[in-house]
Amino acid sequence: MNLKIAVLAGDGIGPEISAQGVDVMQAVCNKFGHSVSFTPALVGAAAIDAVGDPFPSETLRICQDSDAVLFSAVGDPKFDNDPSAKVRPEQGLLAMRKQLGLFANIRPVETFPCLLHNSPLRPDLVAGADFICIRELTGGMYFGEKFESDDRAYDTNAYTRPEIERILRVAFDYARRRRGHLTVVDKANVLASSRLWRKIAQEMAPQYPDVTTDYMYVDNAAMRMIQDPRFFDVMVTENTFGDILTDEGSVISGSMGLLPSASTGTGTPVFEPIHGSWPQAKGLNIANPLAQILSVAMLFEYFDLKAEGALIRQAVNASLDACVRTPEIQVEGGEKYGTKEVGEWIVRYINDAPLA
C-alpha cells in the first residue's frame, strides 16, 4: 500500500513525540512492504508565529492531499495567559476539524495490567476496563452562535437532525463490532438539544436489534465512569460533554500519555494523542510517546491493516512489560528512558519481530 501522511507536529512536546510516531510508522511500512511519504505542515502556535494563522491554507491543502494526518498537539502559555488574544493555537485544531469535516472523535479507554497501580482508581475497579468514547466534534457550543461583552456572554448549543444521526450511526456501528452495548449520554431532563439527541437515538435503536441501547444523563455517566468503568462498551455524546468525559476517562489508564484517538468524517482522517502540548516539558526528552505511537496503530487499522496495528500494540505492551518507560509511569528505581529512547526501543522491537 502507498500512504501519503501529513505530519502536523504542532507545539510544545509535539515535535518530540511526532518524530517517534513517524519513525514507528516508517519501520512498520518497511516491515510489511508498504511505501509511505511524510509531508510536514504548520499548525497551532508555531503556525501563528510563522504566518499569523493557526491553521494556514497551505496546511489545509496538504491535509486534503494526504491519506491521513498524524497530529501531535497545540498550545502555548503566551496565549493561555493573554485573555485578550484574538488568535489562539486551539483555533487551529477547531478549524482543522471543521474544514476536514471531522465530526466523529473516537477515543478508546483501556487499562494495561502492568500499570493498574498507576490509576487513581483501585486496581479492582479498573482491571479489564475497555470502552470507547465517541464524541460529536463539529457541532454544539464550540461552533454555535456566540456573544461576549463585559456584562453578558453566551454560547449556543445547537444541533440538527442530520448531525445527530450521522454520529449515532458511527456509534451503533462501533457497538455492533464490539460487545453490542451502546450508552447514549445526554442531559435530556434539562436541555432541549439533549432531548433531540435522545429522541433520534430512540428512533434509530430498532435499526440495530443486535445492540443493547441505554440512556444516561451526563452527570450520572461521569459518576458511573469512576464507580464502574467496566459497565461501558461504547458511549456517544455531544461535543462539550464528550470533551469533559473523554478527559475523565483518560486518567483511568493511569496516564494521559497512553491513549490515542482518531477523528473521522467526510475528509482526511486525523490520528492524535489525547494529551496536550505540555510546554513545560518541551525539549526535556521526558514526554511519553506511546499515545502518539498508538495513534499510528489506529491509523493502520483505519485502512484495514490489522496486522500492522497489532504489531505496534504488541511492541508497546512489550515496552511497558520491560519497564522501558518515560518517568511518569516508570517503576521506582527503574532505568531512565526518555521520549527518544522509548521510541527507538519500539522501532528495534518492530524491526526484530518475525512476521506471522
16-27 pLDDT, tens digit each: 999 999 999 999
11, 23, 76, 142: the active-site residue: 142
The whole-chain average pLDDT of the chain stands at 95
Question: Count of domains in the chain?
Answer: 2
* 199 a catalytic residue: no
For the beta sheet containing 260-264, the strands, ordered from the edge strand earlier in sequence to the opposite edge, are: 35-40, 2-10, 68-73, 270-273, 260-264, 104-110, 130-136, 234-237, 181-186, 212-217
* Domain carrying residue 238: 103-260
Does residue 148 sit in the same domain as residue 69? no
Residue 69 pLDDT: 98
98, 159, 187, 208: the active-site residue: 187
Does residue 134 sit in the same domain as residue 272? no
Does residue 69 sit in the same domain as residue 172? no
Does residue 84 sit in the same domain as residue 185? no
Among residues 206, 226, 260, which one ends one of the domains?
A: 260
User: At residue 185, does pLDDT exceed 90?
Assistant: yes
CATH number of the domain bearing residue 119? 3.40.718.10
Does residue 214 sit in the same domain as residue 225? yes
67, 217, 243, 282: the active-site residue: 243
Does residue 190 sit in the same domain as residue 274? no
Does residue 239 sit in the same domain as residue 328? no
Does residue 85 sit in the same domain as residue 219? no
Position 229 confidence tier, pLDDT thresholds 50, 70, 90: very high
Tens digit of pLDDT for each residue in 255-270?
888 999 999 999 999 9
Pick from 176, 220, 167, 242: which is nearest to 197 by CA? 167
4, 173, 247, 282: the active-site residue: 247
* 208 a catalytic residue: no
* 217 a catalytic residue: no
Does residue 202 sit in the same domain as residue 340? no
Does residue 130 sit in the same domain as residue 255? yes
Does residue 108 sit in the same domain as residue 226? yes
* For the chain, percent of residues with pLDDT exceeding 90: 89
User: At residue 326, does pLDDT exceed 90?
Assistant: yes
* 247 a catalytic residue: yes
Does residue 117 sit in the same domain as residue 252? yes
Position 78 confidence tier, pLDDT thresholds 50, 70, 90: confident
Among residues 209, 242, 260, which one ends one of the domains?
A: 260
What element of type H or E holds 84?
none
Residue 229, C-alpha cell as written in the block: 468503568
Tens digit of pLDDT for each residue in 79-136?
877 767 788 999 999 899 999 999 999 999 999 999 898 899 999 999 999 999 999 9
Among residues 212, 236, 260, which one ends one of the domains?
A: 260
Position 221 confidence tier, pLDDT thresholds 50, 70, 90: very high
* 67 a catalytic residue: no
Pick from 59, 251, 250, 218: which is nearest to 140 by CA? 218
80, 219, 228, 321: the active-site residue: 219
